[in-house]
Amino acid sequence: MPRIQWVWALMGVFIISLQFRIWAGEGSFGQMKALQQQIDAQLAENHQLADRNSKLMAEVMDLKTGLQAVEEKARNQLGMVGSGETFFWVVSE
């Protein structure tokens, strides 16, 4: 009879050790949740960066192909006035 008790005790220790690994050891539920949160954050950042890259690529292509974008940048940033245009400077009080 004592032999059966030792077997049950050994099985109990084995089950408890397996449960510990699931809840607190390497590869546990908590660790998996933290890793998933890191993955989600990285995917969101990648999405934002991809959007920014596509906008920059569109601007580069526009600057390479069309003169309207170059003219707009020159007007806004450098104060360009085209030929045949009159420049008016409105001064507020």
- Say how far residue 7 (Cα) sits from the centre of its chain: 52
pTM of the model: 0.51
Encoded tokens for 19: 């449960």
Using pLDDT thresholds of 50, 70 and 90, give the confidence band for residue 39.
very high
Give the pLDDT of residue 1: 58
Residues 29/35, Cβ–Cβ less than 8 Å: no
Average pLDDT of the residues in 45-71: 88
Q: Residue 22 above 90 pLDDT?
A: no
